[in-house]
Copies of this chain bind each other. A is one copy, B any other.
Amino acid sequence: MPSNNERSSSLLGLDELLRPRSLAVIGASDTPGKVGYTVLRNIVASGYKGPVYPINPKDPEVQGLKAYRSVLDVPGDVDAAVIVVPARLCVEVADECGRKGVKGLIIISSGFSEVGRKDLEDEVVRAAGKYGTRVLGPNIVGVLSNSDHMNASFAPFLPFPGKVSMVSQSGALVVAIDAATYVRNVGFDKLISIGNMADVDIADCVEWLDADPNTTCISLYIEGLKDGRRLIEAGLRATKPIVALKAGVSAHGAAAAASHTGSLAGAAAVYEAAFEQAGIVQAADLNNLFDRSLALSLQPPMRGENLLVLTNGGGVGVLATDSAERVGLPLKFAPADLQAELRKSMPEFGSAKNPVDLTGMAGADWYYGSVKACLTHPWVDGLVILYCETSLTVPMEIAGTIHRAIVDSGVKDKPVTIAFIGGEQSAKAMKGLMENGLPAYDVPDKAVNAMAALNEYAHIRTLARDESPADDLGAAEAAAREIIRSARAYGRLSLTEIEAKQVFAAYGLPVTKTALARWEDEAVALAAGMGFPVVLKVVSPDILHKSDAGGVKVNIRDETGVRDAFRIIMKNARAFKADADILGIAVQEMAPAGLEVILGSINDSSFGPTMMFGLGGILVELLRHVTFRVAPVNRVLAKIMLEKIHAARITEGLRGEAPRDREALAGVIERYSRMVADLGDEVAESDANPTLLYEVGKGVKIVDARIILKKTSG
């Protein structure tokens, strides 16, 4: 954990904002039903220990507390102010708070960017910023913290206590989830409504919560990020598990999210990649966010992939087995010695293989012995314990025994998740388990999925933390910028193929040799210089689809061929577009046939430059199988990209073909991603298509290159 003096400047004021020692409520009211009434009442009712100052221009006393006309009149220090006055008054209030030395504003009031008044929001942040005051919101429910006995919100009560802290972009969800924690027995320490994120954003909260002693898991509900890279950085620095639900992953959903929060929702695929790069575990839906947060807040990560399922019902054992395969943790048979040990506590028709089926005859003592045997066996990396309510057993007794077996085993570094399938008795038993730090669920699938989260967490943290040394490409950037500057000087927003290849080459990318010939003899000389066969292509900013214009000739084997091709291409180009600005004809080394892949980049609205990799042919054309990562990617991430979208199997040599040079391709992806990251202020999109991948040792060749510039730099 970083020490205080290492903490980034984005954390300034967050301690006072999120754990204030004193609070003012600006707009506090004595009229039930008003938000200013509810918020003040909630702060007092939740047992907040610090001084609370109601601010009200008219009443000398609010809800029995001495009130002040302005925050400036408050005698003591004010760490944070909860603001519920109308939007139009917030600038003035922010200024007063700044003058008073308030460190954080919790602006519950709405009427800002969510209704098109971004100007007002900016003004408030500016007013606060003059004094170094931080702003949470506006348009939020507030902040709730069990460990601080503080419900500074209009949600009716503090959540069911626990170790998860949640940051949510939806205020309505904060209120609903707050209540739901009591039905689900999922414990939270803090609920932070983040609203319009005019100043403090999700990344700030992640960084702050990572150092919060009362939080063991950070849970995020995200609709759209303005600066996704800050979240990746915060995720990478975090020492606690983070789990996120991204809403608005469908096209229509993204539109709905956009209209709702005013944020631009990034492409689902980019979010998915970014979470993986940040070491953030994903949740599939709202229940899954609860389920995974619970497990991540209570249990250690799974350090290997040997999952054991223990059950008293064959049916739920089968369902758990199916789930395990679905979540990427397929069951393997338990080792022989463990099977032998387990067979001691089961009838002959039980099974010790995995799932371990103690059968419906299993009582508490069988569970005790089996749980202990499983946890202490070195093969087992994680244990899912299932219990079907039976007429012969008492759920609470089974739960107690399971807990005792885990404690008695002395094993603390292996995760356990539990499912009790049954009625009220099982529900009560599960509540007891959860209060003792054991995540319990009502169906086997959830217990298995929660275990998968503990596996994914361990796995992606390893990935995210890898830092292979990167090549020094400083000179490349300067050369690339010069080429781009020159194209912009001619008013062009797309580079010619030759220019694009020059940029690629500056970054050490293996483009086919290409040179511009302005007349026939020059073409002959260039071809002779690079060696036959060659390809000739027209170069013109007015002819984008060169083949359609008859502007490409391949496999030219000698001088006569070059001369013929030059003339024909020139003729075709003029016929295609009489006034085309023809810069010349590119003479290009002809690459031998290879496996076609595609590299590319787009600039995502939330995450900036991203790296794309795909396989040529039907997989990309029909299935749109491509994979993204936020650029730059290191060598390890580049290799992970090569494992995706069936690339692993194809590049390893399908149908008896020789394996391909994956090492070289990973290096190319790494450099390409550095290029688009460096030039993120200039390049809107790019691709290397086709890129040809050869057999091991023979490398990669980029045959065609394309770079489209942003309309304006920066």
A residues with CB within 8 A of B: 38, 114-115, 154-156, 168-173, 175-183, 221, 223, 245, 247-253, 256-257, 259-261, 285-287, 312-319, 321-326, 330-332, 348-349, 351, 353, 355, 357, 360, 388-391, 421-427, 442-446, 617-619, 621-623, 646, 649-650, 654-655
Contacts and interface: CB of A to CB of B under 8 A. Distances in A.
A426 B179 contact: yes
Given A170-B315, A171-B315, A175-B422, 12 more contacts: A115-B348, A170-B316, A172-B313, A176-B390, A179-B423, A183-B424, A183-B426, A221-B315, A252-B325, A253-B318, A618-B654, A621-B655
6 contacts: A177-B421, A245-B319, A253-B318, A253-B325, A256-B321, A286-B443
Contacts of A444: 286
A622 B654 contact: yes
Given A38-B391, A252-B325, A622-B654, A313 B176 contact: yes
Contact of A285 (B314, B445, B655): B445
B180 A315 contact: no
Q: What 4 A-B pairs come out closest when comparing CB atoms?
A: A170-B315, A179-B423, A172-B313, A250-B325
Q: Which of A175, A315, A351 has the most CB atoms of chain B within a 10 A radius of its CB? A: A315
A250 B175 contact: no
- Copies of this protein in the assembly total 2
Contact of A260 (B315, B442, B654): B315
Contact of A313 (B155, B170, B348): B170
A257 B318 contact: yes
Given A172-B315, A318-B256, A391-B38, A182 B423 contact: yes
B176 A422 contact: yes
A259 B316 contact: no
Contact of A183 (B330, B360, B427): B427
Contact of A176 (B38, B388, B646): B388
B324 A223 contact: no
Given A175-B388, A252-B325, A260 B318 contact: yes
A390 B141 CA distance: 11
Nearest to A111: B349
Contacts of A332: 252
Contacts of A114: 349
Given A175-B389, A654-B621, A170 B445 contact: no
Contact of A331 (B182, B252, B260): B252
A324 B318 CA distance: 29
A421 B250 CA distance: 21
Given A390-B172, A443-B285, A180 B618 contact: no
B318 A223 contact: yes
A332 B250 CA distance: 12
Nearest to A287: B443
Nearest to A42: B391
A292 to B, nearest CB: 14
Given A183-B427, A322-B248, A389 B618 contact: no
A285 B172 contact: no
A62 to B, nearest CB: 19
Contacts of A618: 617-619, 650, 654
Contact of A172 (B173, B388, B646, B650): B388
Nearest to A179: B423
Nearest to A250: B325
Contact of A173 (B357, B421, B621, B654): B421
B621 A646 contact: no
Contacts of A249: 322, 325
A444 B176 CA distance: 12
Nearest to A619: B618
A257 B619 CA distance: 35
Nearest to A160: B423
Contacts of A156: 391
Contact of A317 (B154, B260, B315, B357): B260
Nearest to A646: B622
Given A115-B348, A285-B445, A618-B618, A421 B325 contact: no
A435 to B, nearest CB: 18
Given A179-B426, A621-B654, A654-B622, A360 B317 contact: no
A318 B617 contact: no
A275 B313 CA distance: 25
Given A175-B389, A312-B172, A389-B175, A317 B252 contact: no
A154 B324 CA distance: 31
Given A348-B115, A621-B654, A425 B179 contact: yes
A15 to B, nearest CB: 28
B252 A391 contact: no
A256 to B, nearest CB: 5
A268 to B, nearest CB: 9
Contact of A182 (B175, B315, B323, B424): B424
Contacts of A348: 115
Contact of A314 (B38, B260, B351): B260
A178 B223 CA distance: 39
Contacts of A315: 168-173, 221, 223, 247, 260
A660 to B, nearest CB: 14
Contacts of A325: 249-253
Given A321-B253, A355-B256, A445 B316 contact: no
Nearest to A360: B172
